[in-house]
């Protein structure tokens, strides 16, 4: 089985040509992994209200095509999305329940006019990855992977995108999460190119 894995870690910005030699039917993709940081009510210095303009500025300055992000709450996404209207996102929070304002998301932002979403979903880094809201092994809290199968509208090429957030305390959880991620990539992506972004807390 042959497939390509493109790995971008933490706040690492990259441009990757899709796919092969450049022609009129290929484009250079600008992809980022961006931990936005959750809205910590105990942090009165770096409040979301203060940080939001900077986050918007990063999106506008670099004009990413796809961004794998970590940690935002729904209330943060609700404040961000109207300011970056060229994007939409895929993802659920760590509970798997709709409408929960203050739980972490691991969203994938993408430019709406450039890509079609053929499939997408979420799995939990636990012994029961399809059971929503479950934390695994020695993890402090539930952790998730948001994945999507995209089709580039220019080239027609299809690829998979996996965006993860590993636990910050559980050493076993991080190890087992990496194993689970590789297993899910093999099962889902098969021969398609793959992009992986995330905060691996290593």
62-85 residue pLDDT tens: 999 999 999 999 999 999 999 999
Query: Strands, E, within the chain: which ranges?
Result: 5-9, 13-18, 27-35, 66-70, 87-90, 108-111, 115-124, 144-152, 158-165, 194-199
pLDDT at 26: 76
Residue 193 CB-half CA count within 13 A: 14
pLDDT at 11: 37
pLDDT at 10: 36
- Rounded Cα gap, residues 39 and 49, in angstroms: 9
| Tokens (6 digits) for 106 | 């691991």
Closest among 10, 2, 16 to 195, alpha carbons compared? 16
**Which tens digit of pLDDT belongs to each residue from 112-147?**
999 999 999 999 999 999 999 999 999 999 999 999
With a cut of 80, say whether residue 4 has pLDDT above it. no
Residue 80 sits at φ, ψ, to 5 deg, of: -80, -45
Neighbours of 85 (CB within 10 A): 8
pLDDT bucket at 21, cuts 50 / 70 / 90 = low
Among 13-17, 77-81, 182-186, name the one with the lowest average pLDDT: 13-17
pLDDT bucket at 25, cuts 50 / 70 / 90 = confident
More confident residue, 51 or 22: 51
Closest among 71, 148, 137 to 110, alpha carbons compared? 148
pLDDT bucket at 27, cuts 50 / 70 / 90 = confident
The predicted model gives 6-23 an average pLDDT of 48
With a cut of 70, say whether residue 165 has pLDDT above it. yes
Report the greatest alpha carbon distance in the chain. 51
Cis peptide before 145 (omega within 30 of 0): no
pLDDT at 18: 55
Helix (H, G, I), strand (E, B) or coil at 125: coil
Contact 51/37 with Cβ under 8 angstroms?
Answer: yes
Q: How far apart are the first and last CA of the chain?
A: 28
In our burial notation (b when 16+ CB lie closer than 10 A, e otherwise), range 168-189 reads eebeebbebbeebbeebbeebb
Query: How is the chain split into domains, by residue range?
Result: 5-199
Q: What is the CATH number of domain 5-199?
A: 3.60.10.10
> Percent of the chain, pLDDT > 90?
86
């Amino acid at each position: 089985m042959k497939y390509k894995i493109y790995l971008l870690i933490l706040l690492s910005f990259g441009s990757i040509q899709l796919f092969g030699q450049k022609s009129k039917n290929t484009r250079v993709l600008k992809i980022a992994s961006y931990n936005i940081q959750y809205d910590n009510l105990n942090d009165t210095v770096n409040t979301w209200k203060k940080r939001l303009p900077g986050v918007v500025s990063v999106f506008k300055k670099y004009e990413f095509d796809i961004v794998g992000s970590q940690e935002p709450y729904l209330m943060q996404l609700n404040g961000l999305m109207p300011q970056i209207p060229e994007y939409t996102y895929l993802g659920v929070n760590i509970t798997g329940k709709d409408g929960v304002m203050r739980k972490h998301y691991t969203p994938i932002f993408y430019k709406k006019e450039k890509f079609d979403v053929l499939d997408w979903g979420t799995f939990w880094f636990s012994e029961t990855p399809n059971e929503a809201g479950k934390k695994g092994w020695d993890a402090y809290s539930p952790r998730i992977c948001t994945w999507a199968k995209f089709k580039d509208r220019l080239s027609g090429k299809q690829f998979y995108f996996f965006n993860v957030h590993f636990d910050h305390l559980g050493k076993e959880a991080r190890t087992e999460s990496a194993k689970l991620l590789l297993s899910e990539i093999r099962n889902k992506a098969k021969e398609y190119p793959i992009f992986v972004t995330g905060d691996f807390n290593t």
